[in-house]
Structure 1
Amino acid sequence: MLETLIDQYGEGWLLLAAGAIIGLIFGAAAYQSRFCLRAACAEVADGVLGPKLAIWLTAFFAALASVQLAILAGVLDVSNARQIAATGSLSGAILGGLVFGTGMILARGCASRLLVLSASGNLRAIVTGLVLTLTAQASLRGILSPLREDLSTLWTIPGGPDRVLFDPHEPMFFAVVALATLAFLTALWFGRQRGLTPLELGAATIVGLAVCGGWVMTYAIASASFEVVAVQSVTFTGPSADTLMALINESSIPLTFGLGLVPGVFLGAMTIALIKGEARIQRFEADLPMERYLIGGVLMGFGSMLAGGCAVGAGMTGGAIFALTAWVAVFSMWVGAVTTHTALNLAARRRSA
């Protein structure tokens, strides 16, 4: 069937449609669950293991378990995915993760959360997201690219088996999948213990399943196509930068998974915001200084390009396929975010003392 669709419409349109579908699902579920790595990190920094952490853990382990089950079932092969096949940067994952985590706290949201909030009329998120996107583009191909490249080459790791934590061909892989599934069920139990409703936990689960859906759909298209098609899933910084630059510089825009993903997430989140009656204009206020958001956006834009992705792109999408650099990056994001949140709280207490 896919071969027929490819012959009729081409790979580009199928990838665009796949991105839009996954984006709609992800955006709606992320808004409903209030999925946010920044919120989970802030909660942990405050010494609380609460519902925001439970939401993130549920989404993360839903992605991990479902992707690994898909690999075990033989419907997915991620060996050619960029996060595994290409040369990786451990220095980039560490430094980029720390920088991204710091920016995430300053901007009160990661790249995916800013996009979701933008859909509800949050002007702070829109402005910060644009700064993030422009900085990401400058880090990828512009004035900041030499610095990014220098930092990335400090500690590299070859692509292939060295870059994956667990090889699907190893005898212990079944046990790894079982542990991932158990971790997901534990996260659901933890969420219920923290007072989350089945709807909230279901939405968080769908966030993770959307990541799996992206991997499976792009793999299916790649397998059916005679052209080289990248196997990929949900990520935001790169696709946002490419889409923005294409709109500015190109008369025609190449049809990709990311091109469908970004507007899909926006529309999905907007739909839920309108249904819940929560869509409204939110501006910068006196107690929410604009400069803090802008600095956060710059740090996230550079950090995500250095780390190989944002909190979702590296943390969940790369983490779900057991890419070593992705796990290092998401750990570093946690460290950077928790440290920054704690430092800001200490500074605020000193000022009020």
Structure 2
Amino acid sequence: MLLTGLICGALLGFVMQRGRFCLTGGFRDMYIAKDNRMFYALLIAIAVQSIGVYALIQLGMIKYAAGTFPWVAAIIGSYIFGIGIVMAGGCATGTWYRAGEGLLGSWIALFGYMVMSAVMKSGVLLPVTTSLQSVQLPKNAIADTLGINIWIIIAVFSLIVLTILIREMRKPKVAVPAMKAKRKGLAHLLFEKRWHPFFTAVLIGLIAILAWPLSEATGRMDGLGITTPTANLLQFLVTGNQTFVNWGVFLVLGIFLGSFIAAKASREFRFRMPDAKTGIRSFLGGILMGFGASVAGGCSIGNGLVKTAMMTWQGWFALLFMIFGAWTASYFMFVRPQTKRQKTAAKTAVTTA
């Protein structure tokens, strides 16, 4: 049954690689380019998963308890995680799938993320994680706090997402030069044709639904998750303790495998070595990702996709502060340097005039 994690992860890695589903770029583009399409794609994936998972709960096929809301940890951890993903050039899942493409900078970021996650979850910094997560509010489920049926929240959210989707699809399409097809039929659709982010989001939402019953069948009562499985993988490699190997570990390995298959089949796989500055920044970004995700109790998938779909305060607060963190890093890494260059160029032009 653990191998279903590998299959589920491979599907996720394949879809994310072919759809170029990158939340780091999406959060950054919201601020720099005023382009919200990837964020809207995330909302679609959340809506699809929410409907599907709560339908499974209604049918008694899976169980879920929102628990308490560690609000301090969610805010602090997610903000730091948001800074880290911009420095690393990819979020937790993005780092795994881009490593499968041969991007060595993502390997460096993944190593930092893996080490810090393990240190925060079972190493010397575990007391920091425990202390921050100890500050809690009694109710995490939004429906319980508001005293209404969960399906009302899901219906309202889905209606908002549907409205956004219709509005976006009605916008005039920007002409994009079409790549000459070298393959025919299904091979062209899978490995050459550009995938629309909204179509990719629907597939990710469906995979996220599938993850719940597959994971719970092995005794892991959760959906998609990246940080804890990543830490568990390192702990297994170091200690040899097989108790660390569960459905989630196979999931992250599957993401790498699925991305590798997609990249090779689409001729996008190649080893790319970053320069020293980029490599150091990627490693530091991975460290911040591991710290932030461990403290927050989830990454861009665990909190930003899964716990949001479960309509919890933790998920939505984490997503919000994740975005704020990404914007902060984007300002200092991209906006501020660009502004300085423009001012310098303007002064030079005035001086030479």
| Counterpart mapping for 1:1-80 below 5 A | 14=1, 16-79=2-65
| Counterpart mapping for 1:335-346 below 5 A | 335-346=324-335
Task: Give the aligned partner of residue 268 of structure 2.
Answer: 278
Cα distance in 2 between the residues matched to 1:298 and 1:212: 30
Task: Give the aligned partner of residue 317 of structure 2.
Answer: 328
Cα distance in 2 between the residues matched to 1:268 and 1:309: 22
Task: Give the aligned partner of residue 101 of structure 2.
Answer: 120
Cα distance 1:108–1:163, how it changes in 2: closer, same or farther (>3 A)? Answer: same
Cα distance in 2 between the residues matched to 1:190 and 1:271: 35
Q: Does 2:74 match 1:96?
A: no
Task: Give the aligned partner of residue 9 of structure 1.
Answer: none
CA distances 1:255-307 after superposition (whole Å, capped 9, x unpaired):
41112101111111111111111000011136x52221121111111000000
Q: TM-score, normalised by structure 1?
A: 0.83
Q: Does 2:267 match 1:290?
A: no
Q: After TM superposition, give the deviation of residue 139 of structure 1 in Å.
A: 1.1
Unaligned runs of 5+ in 1: 1-13, 223-228
CA distances 1:302-321 after superposition (whole Å, capped 9, x unpaired):
00000001110111111111
Task: Give the aligned partner of residue 269 of structure 1.
Answer: 259
Q: After alignment, is 253-262 or 335-344 more displaced?
A: 253-262
Cα distance in 2 between the residues matched to 1:337 and 1:343: 10
Identity percentage over the alignment?
25
Q: After TM superposition, give the deviation of residue 336 of structure 1 in Å.
A: 1.0
CA distances 1:178-230 after superposition (whole Å, capped 9, x unpaired):
223334434543553485976543222111221111123334x27xxxxxx23
Aligned 8 A contact 1:239 1:262 in 2: yes
Q: 1:317 aligns with which of 306, 309, 314?
A: 306
Aligned 8 A contact 1:61 1:187 in 2: no
Aligned 8 A contact 2:21 2:197 in 1: no
Task: Give the aligned partner of residue 244 of structure 1.
Answer: 234
Aligned 8 A contact 1:38 1:337 in 2: yes
Q: After TM superposition, give the deviation of residue 73 of structure 1 in Å.
A: 4.5
Cα distance in 1 between the residues matched to 2:317 and 2:215: 25
Give 1 or 2 for the bigger CA radius of gyration.
2
SS at match of 1:269: helix
Task: Give the aligned partner of residue 216 of structure 1.
Answer: 213
SS at match of 1:348: helix
Cα distance in 2 between the residues matched to 1:133 and 1:120: 18
Cα distance in 2 between the residues matched to 1:213 and 1:145: 32
Q: Does 2:202 match 1:205?
A: yes
Given residue 189 of structure 1, which amino acid in structure 2 is its aligned partner?
Answer: I
Cα distance in 2 between the residues matched to 1:218 and 1:235: 10
Q: Provide the aligned C-alpha RMSD in A.
A: 2.5
Aligned 8 A contact 2:72 2:136 in 1: yes
Q: After alignment, is 93-102 or 170-179 more displaced?
A: 170-179
| Counterpart mapping for 1:166-245 below 5 A | 166-167=143-144, 172-189=149-166, 192=169, 193=171, 195=173, 200-219=197-216, 221=217, 229-245=219-235
Cα distance in 1 between the residues matched to 2:305 and 2:333: 27
Q: After TM superposition, give the deviation of residue 41 of structure 1 in Å.
A: 1.0
Cα distance 1:33–1:103, how it changes in 2: closer, same or farther (>3 A)? Answer: same
Q: 2:137 aligns with which of 149, 152, 157?
A: 157
Q: Does 2:144 match 1:144?
A: no
Q: After alignment, is 331-340 or 297-306 more displaced?
A: 331-340
Q: 1:129 aligns with which of 86, 110, 119?
A: 110
Aligned 8 A contact 1:103 1:296 in 2: yes
Aligned 8 A contact 2:84 2:288 in 1: yes
Cα distance in 2 between the residues matched to 1:268 and 1:75: 27
Aligned 8 A contact 1:45 1:339 in 2: no
Cα distance 1:262–1:271, how it changes in 2: closer, same or farther (>3 A)? Answer: same
Q: 1:108 aligns with which of 71, 76, 89?
A: 89
Cα distance in 1 between the residues matched to 2:15 and 2:322: 23
Q: Does 2:295 match 1:306?
A: yes
Cα distance in 2 between the residues matched to 1:94 and 1:65: 26
SS at match of 2:298: coil
Cα distance in 1 between the residues matched to 2:273 and 2:167: 35
